[in-house]
Amino acid sequence: MQAKAKDILEFFSDLFYRHNASYSAINTARSALASVMSLDDSNYTIGSHPIISKYMKGVFQLRTPTPRYAQVWDVSIVLDYLRLQPANDKLPLCKLTQKLSMLLALTSAQRVQTLWNLNLDKMCLKTDSVEFHVDSLLKQSKPGNVGIMVKISAFLEDERLCAVHCIEQYIKLTKEIRKSERHLFISFRKPHKRASSQTISRWIRVVMKISGIDTDQYKSHSTRAASTSIAKKMHIPMDVILKHAGWANEKTFEKYYNKPVNTGHSTFTQAVLHH
């Protein structure tokens, strides 16, 4: 559980040169080692040792982290596909499930991890909106700041794109098969247990691919950038976007999520679905 600073540096260099690891990967390794190991030749920790810190700055300069996407896909491509689908009460469970996962991803601007934690016992379903209180530990959770409220407005102009209406139909269709399972998303295949986060991601990618989005380039997480970028272009106030998506400051959005997209409406939901 102890090592010399030079051993740590040799390990990082091996990751850098032999394994071509990114700055993020090496920094993650540093954090992991710092949580369980100490330096036997220094009073510094692995995370604060000045030479290790300088080394990490060099890695950052040589392999500066960049956003995954230079551009974001056009939400209208997916929305056009969903508009062509039968009404919610005419869709089989598999199609309704995939559609709901996509609509929630777009209109909530949340990670799949959050969608996976949506629970019927912590849901308030109204005619004009739906609210979920998520008190599970999420990526953005911090001491003293655990839990978020996910609120989505109804899209009365087009029921086919309304996440609230889709949730109503989904709950109705799964009532008999979900038994005691209270998490929103369940598998549409027997034994109809709670769907994993990986399964929800796959459902979203299925809709993207059928719609015509290049899923080799864009993954399910890209829905977060797609919807928030539209909201920004449509002049939704930044504080509304940050609150809706669960970001603490504007820098995260501007650096990783704000991408070129065309669009202008008064609420986040309206901005996304009017595109």
- Report pLDDT digits (tens) over 142-185: 555 557 889 999 999 999 999 999 999 999 999 999 999 999 99
Residue 96 to residue 211: CA distance in whole angstroms: 15
- Give the pLDDT confidence of 232-264 residue by residue, as tens digits: 888 889 988 888 888 777 877 877 677 765 344
Contact between 204 and 223 under an 8 Å Cβ cutoff? The reply is: yes
Percentage of the chain modeled with pLDDT above 70: 90
Residue 71 to residue 236: CA distance in whole angstroms: 20
Q: Name residues of the chain where pLDDT drops below 70.
A: 67, 69, 136-146, 256, 260-267, 270, 274-275
Residue 169 to residue 160: CA distance in whole angstroms: 11
The DSSP 8-state label assigned to residue 125 in this structure reads: E
Beta strand ranges found along 51-176 (DSSP E)? 123-125, 129-134, 148-153
Residue 6 to residue 77: CA distance in whole angstroms: 53
Contact between 51 and 41 under an 8 Å Cβ cutoff? The reply is: no
Helix, strand, coil share of the chain (percent; to 5): 50, 10, 40
Q: Residue 35 — φ and ψ, nearest 5°?
A: -80, -15
Cβ neighbours around 91 below 10 Å, total:
19
Residue 133 to residue 266: CA distance in whole angstroms: 24
pLDDT at 262: 39
Q: Which amino acid would we find at residue 157?
A: E
Residue 228 to residue 270: CA distance in whole angstroms: 12
Tokens of 262: 């065309």
pTM confidence score: 0.74
Residues with Cβ within 8 Å of 180's Cβ and at least 6 positions away in sequence, in order, are none
- Hey, what domains does the chain have and what are their CATH numbers? 2-62 (no CATH), 75-273 (1.10.443.10)
Contact between 222 and 203 under an 8 Å Cβ cutoff? The reply is: no
Residue 166 to residue 227: CA distance in whole angstroms: 18
Segment (H or E) for 231: helix 222-233
Beta strand ranges found along 71-219 (DSSP E)? 123-125, 129-134, 148-153
Q: Return the ∠ at Cα 151 (arms to 143 and 162), rounded to 5°.
A: 150
